Amino acid sequence: MMEGSKELTVACMCGAAKHIFQVPKSSLPLSTHLCSCNISRRISGSLLTSYFNITHGSNSPKPALNNLTPYKSSDILTRHFCATCGTQMYLEYSHDGHFEAATGTLQVDNTDGLIEYKAHIWIEDTPDGGASQFITHIQDSQLKRYLQEPGQNHEVPLNWRTTRSRSSLSRTDKIYAHCQCKGVEFWISPPNEASKTAESHWPDLLVPDETGSSANPNNYPWWLPTLDRYLAGTCACRSCTRASGFDITFWAFIPTANITLDAEGTKPFTRSPYWGTIKTYRSRDDVTRPFCGRCGASLFYDGHMRPSLVDVAVGLLDAPSGARAEEMLAWWPERVSFREYALNKALIKGLEGGIASWGKRNEGEGFVAKGKFPVDF
């Protein structure tokens, strides 16, 4: 290792893709931005993606791509994801060939001090502000908010959203969902009587596992915080981070009875087999993580112990109101799942404080009020 440099490693969840590289210590922390653009949301399933430069200087080795699937998402760059587990790994830029790696692929105990999040970018694609409204500060630094690229466009205020977004909040039609390449498409219908028949023996997101009180023996329908919306929330667990390649995953908890493969509602959700361009990776004996085999989008967290309920990656939703899909999703502002395992604790602390503040600012709109659920399940 060169003097004055730090050796770092990035890898996918299954380990098929791995790259060791060096960065000058003088360049630390490595800067990145939280991107809300349509392409990033659709290829990741996440509402926020972030990458950092791994080719410092002309002699920096480029990562091996033999176990990865390329996806040219635009004329500007090609994205590379693991063909086995679906982890989004790299951006390869066309103009100079440099590579950037997804922040969640760093193989360290934590990235505090290694990665610095500078700003929110491409907010205009949301058009409700997306998850940029969930993170306003990281430690003592306020994140700037740009409609497009950083420093090249006007900054926008915290409450920015388009007129179209506001006028769509009362709609209750099916919501179309798809990955970037549209090899995987499906539709989500609003809650109905069938939604209540789903089963889950634990209330995901609401109760920390370490409390020992996460059982749901009476099958309380925690995924239905209101009559017309499904529960949605955020997760920082290492498994989701490694699977997606990004620090934060955004899940909506949807009964399979409310997912169809056509707009008319005649083709039900199916696992045997999955459909379209879906590939699967078994991250645990009881968990399957489907992803698009063509563009790499994370699609679902499919726990085998609750076959009638599935976690849907919110970044896939094409809701009229915007990225948060508030006409059908009610966001939980009280905690971030598995925050104690966060790869970047400063980022997740900022998320936790920011989403709680968002809930207070938007009381009665788009979030689940504290005390909505019973304390004991």
pLDDT score recorded for residue 166: 66
291 has pLDDT over 80: yes
Domains of the chain plus CATH, in order, are: 5-145 (2.170.150.70), 171-361 (2.170.150.70)
Instruction: Provide the terminal-to-terminal Cα distance of the chain, rounded to the nearest Å.
Output: 53
- Output the DSSP codes for 294-342: TT--B-EEEETT-TTEEEEEGGGB--TT-TT-TTTEEE--S--BTGGG-
Exposed e or buried b for every residue in 50-63, given b needs 16+ CB within 10 A? bbbbbbeeeeeeeb
pLDDT-based confidence at residue 311 (cuts at 50, 70, 90): very high
* Cβ-Cβ contacts under 8 Å for 170 (sequence gap 6 or more): 327
Query: Tokens 């506001």 correspond to what residue?
Result: 166
Residue 28 Cα distances to 23, 52, 111, 228, angstroms? 8, 11, 11, 47
Q: How many CB atoms are located within 10 Å of the residue 179 CB? A: 28
pLDDT in tens, 15-25: 999 999 999 99
Q: Tell me: the pLDDT tens digits for 147-188?
A: 999 977 689 999 898 877 666 666 668 999 999 999 999 999
Token pair 């966060």 in the structure block, residue: 342
Q: How far is CA 302 from each of CA 22, 64, 193, 229, rounded to the nearest angstrom?
A: 37, 30, 22, 20
The residue ranking higher by pLDDT, 366 or 125, is: 125
The model's confidence at residue 13, banded by pLDDT at 50, 70 and 90, is very high
Task: Answer for the pair 196, 221: CB distance below 8 angstroms, yes or no.
Answer: yes
pLDDT at 251: 98
- Contact yes or no for 121/34 (Cβ under 8 A): yes
Coil, helix or strand for 346?
helix
- pLDDT at residue 304 in the model: 86
Q: Extract the tokens encoding 27.
A: 């360049």
The whole-angstrom separation of Cα 149 and Cα 75 is 16
In this structure, what DSSP letter does residue 115 have?
E
User: Nearest-CA neighbor of 111 among 266, 315, 341?
Assistant: 341
Of all residues in the chain, the percent with pLDDT exceeding 70 is 90
pLDDT exceeds 90 at position 323: yes
**Over residues 86-108, mean pLDDT:** 96
